[in-house]
Amino acid sequence: MGVRRVAKGVGDLLIETLGEAVAEVILNLVACALLGCLALIACLCWSFSPRLTIAGAGLFSCLLAHGAWHTVRNPPKGRRRGLAALTAVAFTSTAMTALFLLLYATGCDCL
């Protein structure tokens, strides 16, 4: 009975290790693809209109700063509404994307 339990434990460990390795490869591929898409978008925008790209980046920075302000500061009584909610969601999703890229795209050898 002890041998069966040990064999089952080793089998479970191998399956878990293989699953984690596959998940790591998939996350690295997704991060590399996302980084490549972001670089392609920036390159295409810059080739279309450098002035508009700088203006859009400035406007997006203001949107993220507003979202960071509303996310970090003590929220007032009640819910966030309108622009505050939109910018908070934009800031949070951008921060999570940046964290994902920081964790997984640093090992990307495609650059």
Tokens of 51: 């002035």
Q: Residue 85: what pLDDT?
A: 82
Q: Residue 51: what pLDDT?
A: 93
Residue 74 per-residue DSSP state:
P
Cα dihedral 25/28/32/35 (nearest 10): 160
Instruction: Residue 67: give the domain boundaries.
Output: 2-107
Q: How many domains does the chain have?
A: 1
Tokens of 95: 């921060």
In the chain, the percentage of residues whose pLDDT exceeds 70 is 89
To the question of pTM greater than 0.75 for the whole model, the response is no
| CA gap 102, 24 in Å, rounded | 14
The 10s digit of each residue's pLDDT in 36-78 is 888 899 999 999 999 999 999 999 999 999 989 888 886 666 6
